[in-house]
């Protein structure tokens, strides 16, 4: 862990969550501060259909609510899309942009991700900008080059610790149960930190870098202890309070 940077434990519910799941969210909210010992920030990013109800459900707790994606425009003829302003209007504080599933399923480019990050800022929210290599890229020893390219293309010049978080999610580890070694994560996060400083100057020293990719209570202690890992972006394990809080306990000390 990087002592000077307050960690963030964030969940991404993806296309999961109905009204009945708000009970699980309330359990997370009620237990987060105790689980983390007050040493970390907590966030759950829900589907757009749940954001407003989720905000009400966690009101008065240490858990914040975010969105999973947004359109780059504020308004317009974009049927089915939501803007950052709409997400902010629901009471959210963060928006995930550039997740590998969006890049793959919707052919989102680095340029599109950067425009979405700027839109998140325009809405007064914090952008969680995702980067990560595929299995083929990893096998070709292209991981560091891919990360450098995605940082250059996806992270706008005005990024800083107040408006942005970077999440490293090796695509091959998302939802597969596969996890890089602690040394692999350390190498990737050190490289990301170096590129952020190169890009953003002193601002790059304080931007939170999250690790994502099959994070669970059983491996969280090891992964969150890696230098330059400032928290986690959690997929499946964020759907259950016991798992999410189990990861948060890493920071209780």
Q: Is 169 a catalytic residue?
A: yes
Which run of H or E residues covers position 52?
A: helix 51-57
* Contact yes or no for 108/83 (Cβ under 8 A): no
Q: Is 78 a catalytic residue?
A: no
CA–CA distance, 77 with 140 (Å, rounded to integer): 41
Of 71, 169, 189, 191, the catalytic one is 169
Residue with tokens 């407003």, as numbered in its chain: 52
* Contact yes or no for 36/252 (Cβ under 8 A): yes
Separation in Å, CA 105 to CA 29, 83, 199:
31, 19, 28
* Contact yes or no for 151/196 (Cβ under 8 A): yes
Closest to 167 measured CA to CA, from 149, 155, 177: 155
Of 71, 94, 99, 191, the catalytic one is 99
* Contact yes or no for 38/66 (Cβ under 8 A): no
Go through the chain and tell me how many residues it has.
253
Q: Please, which residues bridge with residue 208 across strands?
A: 165
DSSP state of 71: B
Encoded tokens for 119: 């839109």
Residues involved in catalysis: 99, 169
């Amino acid at each position: 862990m990087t002592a000077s940077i307050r960690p963030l434990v964030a969940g991404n519910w993806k296309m999961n969550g109905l009204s009945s799941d708000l009970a699980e969210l309330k359990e997370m909210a009620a237990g987060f501060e105790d689980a983390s010992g007050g040493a970390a920030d907590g966030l759950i990013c829900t589907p757009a259909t749940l954001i407003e109800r989720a905000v009400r459900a966690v009101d008065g707790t240490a858990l914040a609510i975010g969105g999973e994606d947004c359109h780059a425009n504020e308004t317009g003829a974009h049927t089915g899309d939501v803007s950052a302003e709409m997400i902010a209007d629901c009471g959210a504080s963060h928006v995930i942009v550039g997740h590998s599933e969006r890049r793959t399923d919707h052919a989102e480019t680095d340029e599109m991700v950067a425009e979405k990050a700027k839109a998140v800022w325009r809405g007064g929210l914090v952008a969680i900008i995702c980067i990560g290599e595929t299995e083929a890229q990893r096998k070709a020893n292209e991981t560091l080059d891919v990360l450098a390219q995605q940082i250059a293309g996806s992270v706008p010049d005005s990024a800083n610790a107040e408006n942005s978080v970077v999440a490293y999610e090796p695509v091959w580890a998302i939802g597969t149960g596969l996890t890089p070694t602690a040394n692999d994560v350390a190498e990737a996060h050190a490289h990301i930190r170096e590129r952020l400083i190169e890009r953003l100057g002193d601002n790059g020293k304080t931007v939170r870098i999250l690790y994502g990719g099959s994070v669970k209570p059983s491996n969280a202690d090891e992964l969150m202890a890696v230098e330059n890992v400032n928290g986690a972006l959690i997929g499946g394990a964020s759907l259950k309070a016991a798992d999410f809080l189990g990861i948060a306990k890493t920071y209780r000390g």
